[in-house]
Amino acid sequence: MGEFELIQRYFVRKQPSSSSVLLGIGDDAALLQVPDGESLVVSVDTLVSGVHFLSDAPPERIAQRALGAAVSDLAAMGARPLWYTLALTLPDVNEAWLDAFASALAQRSAELGIVLIGGDTTRGPLSVSLTVQGSVNHSMALMRSGAKVSDMIAVTGTLGDSHAGLESLLHPQKAPLDSLQWLRERFYQPEPRLLLAQAMAPYLNSAIDISDGLLADLGHIMQASQCGAEVDVDKLPYSDALLHFSQDEQQRLDWALTGGEDFELCVTFSKENESVLHSLAKQQQVPFTVIGRVIAAPTLCLLNQGEPLQHRYTQQGYDHFQRA
Amino acid sequence: MGEFELIQRYFVRKQPSSSSVLLGIGDDAALLQVPDGESLVVSVDTLVSGVHFLSDAPPERIAQRALGAAVSDLAAMGARPLWYTLALTLPDVNEAWLDAFASALAQRSAELGIVLIGGDTTRGPLSVSLTVQGSVNHSMALMRSGAKVSDMIAVTGTLGDSHAGLESLLHPQKAPLDSLQWLRERFYQPEPRLLLAQAMAPYLNSAIDISDGLLADLGHIMQASQCGAEVDVDKLPYSDALLHFSQDEQQRLDWALTGGEDFELCVTFSKENESVLHSLAKQQQVPFTVIGRVIAAPTLCLLNQGEPLQHRYTQQGYDHFQRA
């Protein structure tokens, strides 16, 4: 089966129609209409087998994870998803694999409201690269650079779940089955906070999605906004499933601060907007937890019950060389 | 060196500014402004080491080839280039390699008028995936599906050069040095026919860029337009360099029809537009050669001096299984 036939057979027929797509897959390029008055938002994400997912991961899971992770970058800008391109590199044409991958991708695309508009398949070691596009009113775009001194810092959802899910896949674990399943879903199927980010955008000064880990991603905000941060580690939100999964407080803290790939939002905002933000999160039934504040000094301080935490973290995340 | 530092160090600083880029590399996503009244054009192209380029290819050449090939899809739509994202997978961080790759990419980007707006670097076997974006007035967009019965078929430039250039790299060849160098440049540095396509667009019914080979790409037009074609193989345009390089007429024909990656345009148009198209090509000093006509029967006929050619080609390109 040639490349052309492969794309036609597995990917084209599964696409829904969209009024913004004037011409979809099948020509030299797609032809698209950005909504009137909106700016375009573009991000690229690559997942490589053995690096970003286990080499024996089911194709459905690779599709779900790749698309969720990529679309999360649109959420972090306060944007609405529109379209994406897929660059798929495969070691060989395995029809069962492709069918499962394409079906899961199509289903997840429909759930996230994003349409595949171009693809390139090549032969080589398995990897998936997605360039996702969305739109946003320019004045509402959420950036990393807008944090202001004395802003409050908050996160959506709970932290450390995705890393716990991965741990449970890598090593046999004793934990209730429903906790394990929930944590694995958090790892396999990231849920971009699209609607919440769009609703909150007018009240936020800065935002990022937590892909590298809270410390690293808050570090990106600090760097872009030229400021520092204090984080109250005793305020970090944990899921019940994580509390069941790990009774080791230090381990949970490690995963929450440096585990990464929870794809929750970390945001900063003026104190006066706190109550409206809590209301918006409550409406959407998403946990929203204030965890600290922006400071002028360009450092990241961790506090426990108001006291400086003796710790071994660096702003870049966990430092293997400093471990005791 | 982490991923963040790597992108900053090698790619960000080399980017020119552009009024269409509201926010470039460095946030969760780029923020962009499509020109008023224009539609967006998007295409993705992946090059894998050992498949699309020789595994020991110089980094400058990989950059030039990847960008030229990708931008050629914008040319084939009659679009103006705007932006692109880069997904770069590298086996390791080799600073000399990265510096050379990024410098060549930046230089070629400037020449082609396209700006890098996002990147993702991952560790793995070397591959380069580019999603290129441009804009076009919707009514001027060139598609594969517009060919009409009795349209003339023409190609820009000369055919078979890129394949000859590759042959000269793979096998020692006897040919004048300047011919070899010219053919290798045709292989290494595709020149998308951007300006010519934009100028010709109002006078064309369909267009495609020749990436898979003339027969295969004309086949794509036929399939999309539900028609057939007659090609006069005695009219196919060859460069002086190719004529010096290969005295074997059959070999030249093979390369012209199936070699691919010349990234010239194959277009169809009404007879009444022929003279204005020749004038436009002449203004831009690009060869423009009528090589056949669109017919109703859904077949591709090759003619030599008006007589059917006994041949071993299929519409998909060269068929290895039918070779004598």
Cβ distance A145 to A268 under 8 Å?
A: no
Contacts for B40 with CB less than 8 Å, ≥ 6 apart: A31, A32, A33, A34, A40, B34, B133, B134, B135
Nearest to A34 among B34, B46, B122 (CB): B34
Shortest Cα distance from A178 to chain B (angstroms)? Answer: 33
What does chain B come to in residues? Answer: 324
Residue numbers in B near A49 (CB within 8 A): 124
Each of the 324 residues of chain B gets a pLDDT tens digit; together they read 455 567 667 777 666 678 889 988 888 899 999 999 999 999 999 998 888 888 889 999 999 999 999 999 999 999 999 999 999 988 888 889 999 999 999 999 999 999 999 888 888 889 999 999 999 999 999 999 999 999 999 999 999 999 999 999 988 777 888 999 999 999 999 999 999 999 999 999 999 999 999 999 999 999 999 999 999 999 999 999 999 999 999 999 999 999 989 999 999 999 999 999 999 999 999 999 999 999 999 999 999 999 999 877 875 553 333 332
Say if strands B39-48 and A30-32 run parallel, antiparallel, or are unpaired. antiparallel
**Whole-angstrom Cα distance, residue A71 to residue B197?**
34
Rounded to whole angstroms, the Cα distance separating A35 from A47 reads: 29
H or E stretch covering B313:
strand B313-314
Q: Say what the pTM is.
A: 0.90
Assess A129–B contact: CB distance below 8 Å, yes or no: yes
Any bridge partners for residue A121, and if so which?
A: A88
pLDDT at residue number B232: 97
* Domains, chain B, with CATH or none: 3-139 (3.30.1330.10), 143-322 (3.90.650.10)
pLDDT of residue B324: 28
Strands in A30-32's sheet, in edge-to-edge order, are: A21-23, A30-32, B39-48, B127-136, B80-90, B115-123
Q: Do A32 and B39 touch (CB under 8 A)?
A: yes
What's residue B54's pLDDT? 84
Find which of B23, B28, B46 to mutate to test the A interface (most A CBs within 10 Å of its CB): B28
Position B323 scores a pLDDT of 31
pLDDT for the residue numbered A4: 54
Across A29-56, average pLDDT? 90
Instruction: Give A132-155 pLDDT, tens digit per residue.
Output: 999 999 999 999 999 999 999 999
Q: Around Cβ B229, how many Cβ atoms within 10 Å? A: 27
Whether chain B has a CB inside 8 Å of the CB on A303: the answer is no
Q: Chain A residue closest to B50 (CA)?
A: A124
b/e burial code for range B271-283 (CB count within 10 A of at least 16 → b): eebeeebeebbee
User: Which of B28, B83, B134 comes nearest A43 by C-beta?
Assistant: B28
Looking at the complex, does the CB of residue B73 fall below 8 Å from at least one CB of chain A? yes
What pLDDT score was predicted for residue B15? 66
Nearest Cα to B133, choosing from B87, B86, B80, B88? B80
Using CB atoms, which residue from A30, A42, A74 is nearest to B118?
A42
Helices (H) and strands (E) in chain B, counts: 10, 15
Tokens 């050992």 identify what position? B50
